[in-house]
Amino acid sequence: MTDTAPTELSPMFELLTGFSRELREAGIPVSLSENIDAMEAVQHIPLEDRDALKYALAATMVKHDSHWRAFETVFEVYFSLRGKEYGIASDEEGEEGSDNVDMDGMGNQPGRGDGSGGSQMSPEELAEMLYQALMRGDDAMMRAIARQSVQRFAGMEPGRPVGGTYYLYRTLRNLDLDGVLDRLMEQAREKAPDPGLTPLEERLERDEFEARIDKLKKEVEAEIRRRLVADRGVEAMAKTLRKPLPEDVDFMHASREEMANLRKAIYPLTRKLAVRLARKRRHGRKGPLDFRNTVRHSLSYGGVPAEPKFKYPRPAKPEIFVIADISGSVAAFARFTLHLVYAISNQFSKVRSFVFIDGLDEVTSYFEGVDDISEAVHRVNTEADVVWVDGHSDYGHAFEVFWERYGKEVGPKTTVLILGDARNNYHASQAWIIQEINKRARSTFWLNPEPKSYWDTGDSIVGEYGAHCDGTFEVRNLRQLEGFVENLA
Amino acid sequence: MDHRFESVPAVRQGLADINYLADEGIAGVVYLADRLQKPILVEGPAGTGKTQLAKSVAEMMGARLIRLQCYEGLDESKALFEWNYKKQLLRIQAERNAEGTWTDIEEDIFSEDFLLTRPLLEAISATEPVVLLIDEIDRVEIETEALLLEILSDYQVSIPELGTVTAQQIPMVFLTSNNTRELSEALKRRCLFLHIDYPDMDREKEIVLTKVPGITETLADQVARIVRSIRQLELKKAPSVSETLDWANTLMLLNINQITAQDATETINILLKYRSDIEKAIKEFSTNQSDFAGQS
C-alpha cells in the first residue's frame, strides 16, 4: 500500500486542496493539519461511495455543527461533476440540448408545456405523477419528477447570471405544492374512518406530507445545482452558492429561512453566554481578607495563620436598561437583542426594557414570568404603546418620553443599552438627553445594526448620539452580538 | 498496528447487534477514528446517545470503558495522576532509621509504586483494550482542556519525576460535549468531529422497535411520528431519544395500542419537561391545523 500511495494521492491531493480552499472561502476555517487528516481519511474509505467521502471530509474538516450546511453546499458543488463514478451526470445528457431550446417559451408561459420534447409528459400528467409520488412517498419517482420539472419550468439558460434561488422559485411556483398539499389532505380526510380525522391525526398526516414535499424541494434544488455546475463550472458556482454562516448572517437583510436559522441559533447562544458569564463572575477575583475565618483556621496550625482566608467576593451585578427601536427596519435586530438580554437576565440584578418607534413604552412586564420569550416578543409587537404620531422613528421624542418618565431611575449601577440605527427622519435629535443619561448611568452603549460605512449618512445621526455614549458598536450579526454581551458583564 | 474494524458496514452491524442503531455517518466516523487513530469529539443535543455510543463501542470491542466525567474545577490530580502522598510519607518514615541517602529515598518515593493513576493515565497505561470516554468536556474550564492535548495527540503523559508514559496501545477515545461553550481550536483540531442530532423518523422508529420489547410496528410508527411533530414546535427543550423511549414504554404499560389525542395529552409530561412546552404541545394537538397553518 505504501508503494502505491503517492501516485494515487496526487490527483486526490489536488482535489482536496482545492476543496479546502473553497471551504475557507465559504468562511469555514480549515487548518493545514485538518487538511492533512482529510487526505489520510480518504485513503481509508471506498472512494466511489459518495456518502462515505462526505462523512470522512466532514469529520476531519468541519468542527462546528453550524458550519455543516455551508460544508454540504460546497461539497455538493465541488464533487458533483468529477467524472462518471460519482454517478451524477446521469442519463439526460442527450436531452440537454432540446430543453435549452424550449426554455424561452417556457419562461413566458409558465405551466403550459408545449410538448416540444416528444418524450415529455403534459403538465397535467406531471402534476398527477407528482401527486401520486407524494401520496406514496416514492423516492425514485420524486427524483424523476424533480428532474422533469426543472427541465420544464426553471427556464434555465446557459451562462445567464442568475442565482439558483431564482430557478428554484420558478420551478416551485409551477408545481403549486400548496395546492398539492391541500389535495393530499383532502384525500386523507376522505379516507379516514367515520368520525373523520382528529386534530392530532390530521396534524400527523400533514407533517408526513410536508416532510415529503420538503424532500422533493431538496431534489429540485439538487437538480438545479447540478445543471448550474455543468454550465458554469465548479469555482463560479461555489461562489454564487456561498451563503454566510449563521453567526455571520446580517440581521437587517436576513431571508425568512435565515431568520428561522437565527432563531434556532439564539437559544444555544444564550445558554453558552449564561454559562460563561456565571463562570466569569465566580473566577479570578479574591475578596478582602476574612480575619475571623483565618484565625479559626489557624487553630489547626497551632495558632499560626498559615492559610489566609478571603471573603467570598460579591461582584456587583449590573442593572440593565435596554431601549430598543422596534420600527420596521431594525425590528429583527431589536428582537434578537431582547431575546438575548432576557435569556441571560439572571446574570443581571435587574433588567428593564423599553421599546419605541416615535413614542416609547416600558415592556419589562411582558417578559416577567414568561417561559416563552417569542410569545413575549409577540406581545411587545402587538400591545406596546409605541406609536405617538405616525409610526416613523423619532429618536428625539422617544428619548424625551424616556427621560421624563424613567430618567430618575437611571442610577450609578445602571448600564443603558440603546439599540437602533439612529435614522431619525430629520427630527430633532435631543442628544442632550443621552448626555444626561450617561451622566447618571454607569455606562451607556449604543448598538447599531447598520454597517459602519452607512453611519452618519442621510438621516442617520448616530455620531451625534454616540458622542455622549461610552461606545457605539456595529452589531449586525450574532457573532458581534455575542462578543458585545460577553464584554458587558 | 491491526485495525479493529473491517469496514463501515461492519461497524454498523456490530453496533446494531448490541442494539445501538448507528446511521451511516456515525458508523463511518467510528471506523475512521480507528483507522486514523484519532479521538472523536461527539456533539449534539442532550439525550441523543452520545455517551451511549462510547459505551456501545466498548461493548462491541469487548473493551473496558474508562470514563472521565468532567466538571468545573476538574484538575490534573483528578484527571491524570497524583502522587500518593500518605504512602510517600510512610515510606520516608520507615526509611528514617535505615541506611541510605536522601537521593535513594527520593528516587524511591517518586516511582510508579507511589503513583495514583487517574482515568487518563489509566487509559494510557492499560495493556488490555480500553475505550476512554471523556464525558461533557465542555464543563471544564478552557485552561483545563490543555491537560488533554498531550494525551489526545500523542497518546502519552509526561510526569515530571518519572518521564513520559507512552501508550501500550492506542485506545479509542470519545469526547462528548453539549456545546455550552466553544472548545478550543487546539482540541478540535486533534479530533474527528461527529454531530449526533435527533434521528430522522425512520431511524427513531427502528430505535423504538429495538429498545422497547414487544411494541407493535404501528405503535412504534405512531410514536415516532408524534415525536417528530413535537420536535417541529418551538420548544425550550425538544424531546430526546431517551424520552421517546420512556414514552413508548409508558404507552406499553398502559396497554395503549393506538394513540389518541387524549392519550397523548395525558402522557405528554414524559416527553416534555417544561410546563410551557407541555401547554404548547397540547394546544397544537387539539387545534385544527387549518387554524394556525398561516403562522408557520
* Cα within 13 Å of Cα(B45), Cβ side: 17
CATH of residue B186's domain is 3.40.50.300
**Residue-range definition of the domain harbouring residue B235:** 201-287
Based on the fold, state whether residues B67 and B96 are members of the same structural domain.
no
Contact A204 B225 (CB under 8 A): yes
Q: Are residues B62 and B140 in the same domain?
A: yes
Question: Of B192, B273, B20, whose CA–CA distance to A59 is shortest?
Answer: B192
A54 vs B24: CA distance, rounded Å: 11
**Containing H/E element for B190?**
helix B185-190
Asked if the C-beta of A60 comes within 8 angstroms of chain B's C-beta atoms, the answer is: yes
Q: Any residues with CB less than 8 A from the CB of A55 and at least 6 apart, and which?
A: B24, B25, B28, B29, B32
Task: Tell me the mean pLDDT in the region B280-286.
Answer: 82
* A59 → closest Cβ in B194, B222, B274: B194
Judge if B70 and B89 occupy the same domain.
no
Could you tell me if B88 and B171 lie in one domain?
A: no
- What mean pLDDT comes out for the span B265-285? 86
Lowest mean pLDDT among A201-205, A277-281, A291-295, A324-328: A277-281
Rounded mean pLDDT of A453-463? 87
The nearest alpha carbon in chain B to A42 belongs to B32
Instruction: Name chain A contacts of B31, Cβ cutoff 8 Å.
Output: 44
Reply yes or no on whether the pLDDT at A487 is more than 70: yes
- The verdict on B67 and B191 lying in the same domain is yes
Residue B234 lies in a domain: yes
| pTM of the model as a whole | 0.76
* % of chain A exceeding 90 in pLDDT: 2
Please tell me the least confidently modeled range out of A21-30, A150-159, B109-118: A150-159
The answer to whether B171 touches B194, Cβ cutoff 8 Å, is no
A146 near A219, Cβ under 8 Å? Answer: yes
Q: Are residues B140 and B52 in the same domain?
A: yes
For A274-285, what is the mean pLDDT?
66
The nearest alpha carbon in chain B to A52 belongs to B28
A2 pLDDT band, cuts 50/70/90, is: very low
* Shortest Cα–Cα distance, B25 to chain A (Å): 6
Here the cell at position B271 is: 416527553
What mean pLDDT do residues A422-448 have?
Answer: 88
Q: Is the minimum CB–CB distance between A5 and chain B shorter than 8 Å?
A: no
Whether B294 is in a domain gets the answer: no
Last residue of a domain, one of B195, B228, B246: B195
For range B143-167, the mean pLDDT: 85
Q: Which residue is associated with the grid cell 401520496?
A: A135
Which residues partner with B82 through β-bridges?
Answer: B116
- Residues A175-222: pLDDT tens digits? 888 888 888 888 888 877 766 677 778 888 888 888 888 888 888 888
Average pLDDT score over residue span B111-120: 86
The x, y and z cell numbers of residue B159, run together, are: 510526569
Give the DSSP letter of residue A454.
Answer: G
Summarize the confidence of residues B150-161 as an average pLDDT: 86
**Overall average pLDDT of the B130-143 stretch:** 88
- Top-confidence residue, B39 or A336: B39
Closest-approach residue (CA) in chain A for B222: A204
Residue where a domain stops, chosen among B91, B117, B143: B117
**Which of A200, A263, A377 has the most B C-beta neighbours within 10 Å, making it the best mutation to test the interface with B?**
A200
B292 lies in a domain? Answer: no
Task: Look at residue B13 and tell me whether its pLDDT is greater than 60.
Answer: yes
Mean pLDDT of B266-287: 85
Domain contains B186: yes
- Asked if residue B296 is part of any domain, the answer here is no
Per-residue pLDDT, averaged over B68-93, amounts to: 85
Q: Chain A: nearest CA to B42, how far in angstroms?
A: 10
| CA–CA min distance B13, chain A (Å) | 16
- Interval B85-105: pLDDT, tens: 888 888 888 877 767 677 777
Report the Cα A18 to chain-centroid distance in Å: 27
- Specify the 3-state DSSP secondary structure of A321: strand
Residues B153 and B205 in one domain: no
The answer to whether residue B12 is domain-embedded is yes
Residue A100's pLDDT is 37
Indicate the number of domains in chain B: 3
Per-residue cell: A87 = 454517478
**Co-location of B205 and B139 in the same domain:** no
If you average pLDDT over every residue of chain A, what do you get?
Answer: 77
User: Is the pLDDT confidence value at A4 over 60?
Assistant: no
DSSP state of A245: -
Residues B178 and B44 in one domain: yes
Domain end, chosen from B174, B195, B216, is at B195
* Residue B242 distance to chain A (closest CA, Å): 20
State whether B32 and A272 contact (CB < 8 Å): no
Residue with more model confidence, A80 or A148: A148
pLDDT digits (tens, 9 = 90+) for B43-56: 988 888 899 999 99
Query: Is pLDDT at A304 greater than 60 in this prediction?
Result: yes
B288 alpha-carbon distance from chain centroid: 40
Pairing of strands B163-166, B156-159: antiparallel
pLDDT tens by residue, A21-38: 888 888 888 888 898 899
Q: CB distance A45–B28 less than 8 Å? A: yes
Residues B91, B124 within the same domain: no
Q: Among A31, A198, A272, select the one facing B189 at the smallest CB separation.
A: A31
Residue B293 within any structural domain of the chain: no
Residues B174 and B39 in one domain: yes
Q: In the predicted model, is pLDDT for residue B173 greater than 90?
A: yes
- Residue B166 belongs to some domain of the structure: yes
Does the distance separating the beta carbons of A207 and B189 come in below 8 Å?
no
Same structural domain, B127 and B225: no
Whether A268 has a pLDDT exceeding 90, the answer reads no
Q: Residue written as cell 410536508?
A: A210
pLDDT digits over B201-258, tens only?
889 999 999 988 888 998 999 899 999 989 888 787 889 999 999 999 999 999 888 8
Task: Indicate left, alpha or beta for A435 from its phi (over 0: left) and psi (-120 to 50: alpha).
Answer: alpha
